[in-house]
Amino acid sequence: MRRKDREVTDMNKIKNIINQCYCCRIGMNDNGKVYIVPLNFGWQERDNQLIFYFHSAQEGRKIDLLKKNPYVGFELDTNHQLQEGNIACQYSSFYQSIIGEGKIEFIEDIEEKKQAFQYIMKHYTNKDHWEYATQMLKSVCLFQLVVEKISCKEH
């Protein structure tokens, strides 16, 4: 990171920033071109490892690319605010952002799918113990991103 003065290394603060984000963008490799999609997400920390959870239709460009190459980049951001100045070069932005890399793993087990949905729903509603119909769980694709590298920045 070029601006070390803006780097966030405290893991508790990073987790707090993740909790404030509404969207996680996943960047995939599409034959040398980048394909980015914004996704709703949930997350957990397990054995000092961050894991993000996502749901999707079972087919489409995103799923095809993830099956072909499960290594992705990701980005989250929040708390945007314009910092005004007297001239154009004095304007700036306040923000918090997280970028990283990891590997996608598809979730097939019904109980694991339920747990993944719990993390997603908890992230947006702050409620636990949702019920899911087995048929619905069978019809949706759930996958997790196991984070291998992460960095956080704020201004």
Give residue 82's pLDDT: 84
Q: What structural domains and CATH numbers belong to the chain?
A: 4-154 (2.30.110.10)
Give residue 83's pLDDT: 81
pLDDT at 2 over 80: no
Q: pLDDT digit string (tens) for 104-141?
A: 999 999 999 999 999 999 999 999 889 999 999 999 99
| Euclidean distance between CA atoms 120 and 123, whole angstroms | 5
Closest CA to 114 of 103, 122, 104: 122
pLDDT at 1 over 80: no
**Single-letter code of the amino acid located at 89:** C
Phi, psi of 46 (to 5 degrees): -130, 120
Q: What is the CA radius of gyration of the chain?
A: 17
pTM score: 0.92
Q: What is the mean pLDDT of the chain?
A: 93
Neighbours of 52 (CB within 10 A): 26
The larger pLDDT score, comparing residue 91 to residue 98, is at 98
| Euclidean distance between CA atoms 81 and 154, whole angstroms | 12
pLDDT at 148 over 90: yes
Mean pLDDT is lowest, of 21-25, 62-66, 80-84, for: 80-84
Give percent above pLDDT 90 in the chain.
79
Neighbours of 144 (CB within 10 A): 22
pLDDT at 80 over 90: no
Phi, psi of 62 (to 5 degrees): -60, -50
